[in-house]
Chains A and B, each alone.
Chain A
Amino acid sequence: MMVPRELAEHDQPEPTPAFVEMLGISKRFSGVQALRNVSFTIRSAEIHCLAGENGCGKSTLIKILAGVYAPDEGTIILNQQAHSHLSPAASQRAGVQIIYQDLSLFPNLSVAENILFRRHLAMPSRLVRRAEIVKQAREVMARLGVNLPVEEVVGRLPIATRQLVAICRVLAAEARLVVMDEPTASLTHHEIDALLETVRGLKAHRIATVFVSHKLEEVMRIAERVTVLRDGSKVGTYPASEINRYRLTELMTGQKFETSLKPAFSSKTPPILEVRGLTRRGHYEEVDFLLRPGEILGIIGRLGSGRTELALSLFGMNPPDAGEVLIGGKPARLPTNRAAIRHGIGYVSEDRLSLGLVMPQSIADNIVISVLKKLTGVLGLIDGGRRRKSVNHWIDELHVKTRAPDRPVQELSGGNQQRVVLAKWLATDPRILILDSPTVGVDVGAKVGIYQIIDALAARGIAIIFITDEVEEVLHQTNRILVMLSRRITATLDPGKVTERELREAISA
């Protein structure tokens, strides 16, 4: 369908011309209305943030722009031509480049080939020029100020590095609009700074950016305009100057939140977990701490500080070289994660995709996977009724947004997947729960939801280790803070007696 572009001309006057206009877009997935009559305009060379809670339809809107999904209704006006839907090729030809939430890299190809894969598409039967590909990949990396192993196969790289590869890939294309779906979820502060700098650099080259992020701090730092979606509908588009974090939170959730410090934790109950001189060379050294039932212990540290290695050791997946762990006052050996689970330890991983979930399996199966024994009835068969009850209970409790529990987990939006991981561990009824960055990639509303769940669990007497790199979060959500820096615990702080600034300095020293 090709009609001239007069259609949208009566919109309010625009200071810079629109690069793309999406008008009245609706999209329904078997049973879920993901988008309802959403209009979204991106001007040339602007930095536009797309905000909204988990599952509000951000990724879906982006995939429609990318030509991955066709909308049920609506028009997309790109380069003055109206389309009822786009194809991936047409979208890319027009200069739209996407960094997907799941990165969409080729794990079996080298970094350089991933960055310049598009060259393979230029003309099907042409020769591959390896030397040229490597050279151009190096140039792109230099523009972003990173140095990645160009010849290494992407599947062997850690997640954060893969994310950089995906960013390099869009920089290598002749883009006029770059869409980044949560590009910073697993980057370090230094890398985020470099990325935000790159986004400003793109603007200087007259390239527009759409930025999806749950870190409102970042959004406010670079956005010129912000579009907010709620539950598949558009709330509005606002100039960034008219908006602040609190207002944005309100727009996204439709309700107000206030945060306050937790009351000091005091308990005479004997510690459930005691760690003495725990060391694994090269990972972390000489870690000591106590944890009492009902206490929320924060461990704050940056990527590479040793925080995750320590957590994995407590969960039996990274055996320490020295030191001891006492659980309920008795020395415990944790050679495997099964042993840890037997001792009542649960672990919610940071990287939900590779450690936490079986993606093609149903939500229900994922939730009950570690408690199947408890659900067996006569003859050792699974008791369907109890299984259903348990699943529904957790879906309600954690507000997992889904049509039916028997849908595969991979259909859920990123943040809802995180909740399923949490539900899976809560179902095991743990005594000690280790949460490794449980709110990465989760929107503010859902964050508050997760905090409330954590509080409720603590109130029930579960001891919680809360690992994070967000200063604000650790200040408001924990009873006691351990600071981890360069593989050691460098300070134990009381959230009531330390300021955000002091804490920020302590973790970067």
Chain B
Amino acid sequence: MRNFVRFLFRRHDVQIGLIVVIMAACFSTISSGFLTPGNLMDMLESYSVMAIMAAGLLVVLISGGIDISFAAIAAVSQFLVAIILVRFGGNWFVAFSLAGLFGALLGVVNALLIYYLGAISVIVTISTMTFYFSILMFVTQGKSIYNLPNWFTSDISVLAIPFPVVVAAIALLLTLFLVSRLTIGRQIYGLGGNPEAAKRMGCNIVGLQCFVYGYSGFMAAVAGIVQAHRVEEVVPYALIGRELDVLAAVVLGGASLSGGVGTVSGTVLGIVLLAVLQNGLTLLGVSSYSFGVVTGIVILVSVSATAYAAKRQRKRSIRDAI
């Protein structure tokens, strides 16, 4: 029993879960507005875009890469789809399919550059981020699109759950299915854990990378559509700057920047943690400029705790090995 408890506490997601619960408890005693159904649903809704992007990024991190360009991909796809919808009309199916297609294509471009140039993924995706975003700003001259169709901007909910939350839930479940139940998901873990071994076992490395970055681009574009639906307009620079928040949430959730490690449940907790923290601070009337400071501290503490645990683990395994 004691061992079981100890085992539980060593698990990263249990630790994060505990922190969330403690924080939520603190905020709800200080501010009565925190634990109300209305506030909780608002919170879920406003973090759903981030959750969809995180689902895509998680898969890239598991494969041992990183994608910085997904917010730019989301902005580009969002813009292209908005133009098409405004000019030709359409429906939700068309909107998501087109966005997914654009996003996946832009993601595959990342993968091919990474594979054939042999460059590291940070550098490649930072470059493509700048490139995609600059082109977008050049073409739009920074102008927003306001005249989106009515069906696109009107509120929808399924069983009283807002549409963005539904999409986020589907994205996360799909990712869960991908990484834990599909063989390609397990290959992605293998690739992240030991790329050389994956190559030697005969994994199709370029195929896996196209899939992974394509998936991240796909999810980003879907998130872009959801975001446009929420704010009822397409602003070219609205999503820029979100990439680091998303990355922070995924890493908070236990995904490793060196690849091979990460879970969907952890990612969800990472987002919830950031959401509770930022929402609670707002309710307490803390200036939104200090968000960054607090978020930064939480991430730093969490990441160093993980790194420290990994170091102890390594020491222990060396001891065991002798």
Where the two chains meet, the residues of A that have a C-beta atom closer than 8 Å to any C-beta of B are 66, 68, 87-89, 92, 98, 100, 104-109, 113, 117-128, 155-160, 308-309, 312, 318, 350-351, 354-355
Is the CB–CB distance between B317 and A155 below 8 Å?
yes
Query: Which residues of B in the span 72-115 have a Cβ within 8 Å of any Cβ on A?
Result: none
Query: Which residues of B in the span 152-194 have a Cβ within 8 Å of any Cβ on A?
Result: 180-187, 189-190, 192-194
**Contacts A66-B200, A89-B202 known; A125 to B183 CB distance under 8 Å?**
yes
Is the CB–CB distance between B322 and A117 below 8 Å?
no
Is the CB–CB distance between A124 and B193 below 8 Å?
no
Query: Can you list 25 A-B contacts with CB-CB less than 8 angstroms, sorted by A residue number?
Result: A88-B200, A92-B201, A100-B200, A104-B196, A104-B200, A104-B201, A105-B197, A106-B194, A107-B193, A109-B193, A113-B186, A117-B186, A117-B190, A120-B184, A124-B183, A125-B184, A126-B183, A127-B181, A128-B182, A128-B186, A155-B317, A157-B320, A158-B320, A158-B321, A351-B318
Q: Using a Cβ–Cβ cut-off of 8 Å, how many residues does chain B contribute to the interface with A? A: 32
Is the CB–CB distance between B260 and A106 below 8 Å?
yes
Q: Which of A122, A127, A128 has the most CB of B within 10 A?
A: A128
**Inter-chain contacts of B197 with A (CB < 8 A):** 104-106
User: Does B10 belong to the interface (CB within 8 Å)?
Assistant: no
Query: In the assembled complex, how far is the CB of residue A94 from the closest CB belonging to chain B, in whole angstroms?
Result: 12
Is the CB–CB distance between B183 and A105 below 8 Å?
no
Query: In the assembled complex, how far is the CB of residue A64 from the closest CB belonging to chain B, in whole angstroms?
Result: 13
In the assembly, what is the distance between CA of A375 and CA of B301, in Å?
38
Residue in contact with A351 in the complex, picked from B185, B207, B321, CB distance below 8 Å: B321
**Contacts A109-B190, A120-B183, A128-B180 known; A88 to B317 CB distance under 8 Å?**
no
In the assembly, what is the distance between CA of A119 and CA of B182, in Å?
11
**Inter-chain contacts of B183 with A (CB < 8 A):** 119-128
Is the CB–CB distance between A106 and B190 below 8 Å?
yes
Is the CB–CB distance between B202 and A88 below 8 Å?
yes
Is the CB–CB distance between A107 and B194 below 8 Å?
yes
**Inter-chain contacts of B185 with A (CB < 8 A):** 128
Of chain A, the residue at the smallest CB distance from B62 is A108
Q: Which of A68, A104, A120 has the most CB of B within 10 A?
A: A120
List the 10 closest pairs (A to B, CB-CB), nearest first: A108-B193, A108-B260, A104-B197, A158-B321, A120-B183, A89-B202, A308-B322, A106-B193, A88-B202, A120-B186
Query: In the assembled complex, how far is the CB of residue A170 from the closest CB belonging to chain B, in whole angstroms?
Result: 11
Is the CB–CB distance between A309 and B189 below 8 Å?
no
User: Does B31 belong to the interface (CB within 8 Å)?
Assistant: no
In the assembly, what is the distance between CA of A87 and CA of B198, in Å?
13
Is the CB–CB distance between B187 and A121 below 8 Å?
yes
User: Does B6 belong to the interface (CB within 8 Å)?
Assistant: no
**Inter-chain contacts of B204 with A (CB < 8 A):** 124
Known: A88-B200, A121-B203, A125-B182. 15 other contacts (CB 8 A): A68-B199, A68-B200, A98-B200, A105-B194, A106-B198, A107-B260, A108-B189, A113-B186, A117-B201, A121-B202, A158-B322, A309-B322, A351-B318, A351-B321, A354-B321
Is the CB–CB distance between B321 and A159 below 8 Å?
yes
**Inter-chain contacts of A88 with B (CB < 8 A):** 199-202
- Total A-B Cβ pairs within 8 A: 98
Of chain B, the residue at the smallest CB distance from A98 is B200
**Inter-chain contacts of A100 with B (CB < 8 A):** 200
**Inter-chain contacts of B147 with A (CB < 8 A):** none
**Contacts A107-B194, A159-B321, A354-B321 known; A120 to B199 CB distance under 8 Å?**
no
Q: Which of B207, B319, B322 has the most CB of A within 10 A?
A: B322
Where the two chains meet, the residues of B that have a C-beta atom closer than 8 Å to any C-beta of A are 180-187, 189-190, 192-194, 196-204, 207, 260-261, 313, 317-322
**Inter-chain contacts of A160 with B (CB < 8 A):** 321
Q: Which of A87, A106, A155, A350 has the most CB of B within 10 A?
A: A106
Is the CB–CB distance between B189 and A109 below 8 Å?
yes
**Inter-chain contacts of A355 with B (CB < 8 A):** 318
Residue in contact with A128 in the complex, picked from B181, B202, B317, B321, CB distance below 8 Å: B181
**Inter-chain contacts of B260 with A (CB < 8 A):** 106-108
**Inter-chain contacts of B320 with A (CB < 8 A):** 156-158
Query: In the assembled complex, how far is the CB of residue B176 from the closest CB belonging to chain A, in whole angstroms?
Result: 13
Query: In the assembled complex, how far is the CB of residue B272 from the closest CB belonging to chain A, in whole angstroms?
Result: 25
**Inter-chain contacts of A126 with B (CB < 8 A):** 182-183
In the assembly, what is the distance between CA of A113 and CA of B186, in Å?
9
**Contacts A68-B199, A158-B320, A158-B321 known; A120 to B187 CB distance under 8 Å?**
yes
**Inter-chain contacts of A308 with B (CB < 8 A):** 322
**Inter-chain contacts of B187 with A (CB < 8 A):** 120-121, 124
Of chain A, the residue at the smallest CB distance from B315 is A317
In the assembly, what is the distance between CA of A13 and CA of B152, in Å?
78
In the assembly, what is the distance between CA of A350 and CA of B199, in Å?
28
**Inter-chain contacts of B322 with A (CB < 8 A):** 158, 308-309, 312, 350
In the assembly, what is the distance between CA of A88 and CA of B203, in Å?
9
Is the CB–CB distance between A158 and B317 below 8 Å?
yes
Query: In the assembled complex, how far is the CB of residue B287 from the closest CB belonging to chain A, in whole angstroms?
Result: 41
Query: In the assembled complex, how far is the CB of residue A15 from the closest CB belonging to chain B, in whole angstroms?
Result: 32
In the assembly, what is the distance between CA of A107 and CA of B317, in Å?
12
Of chain A, the residue at the smallest CB distance from B203 is A121
In the assembly, what is the distance between CA of A87 and CA of B181, in Å?
28
Is the CB–CB distance between B318 and A124 below 8 Å?
no
**Inter-chain contacts of B189 with A (CB < 8 A):** 106, 108-109
**Inter-chain contacts of A125 with B (CB < 8 A):** 182-184
In the assembly, what is the distance between CA of A222 and CA of B3, in Å?
46
**Contacts A88-B200, A158-B317 known; A108 to B180 CB distance under 8 Å?**
no
In the assembly, what is the distance between CA of A160 and CA of B322, in Å?
10
**Inter-chain contacts of B181 with A (CB < 8 A):** 127-128
**Inter-chain contacts of B198 with A (CB < 8 A):** 106
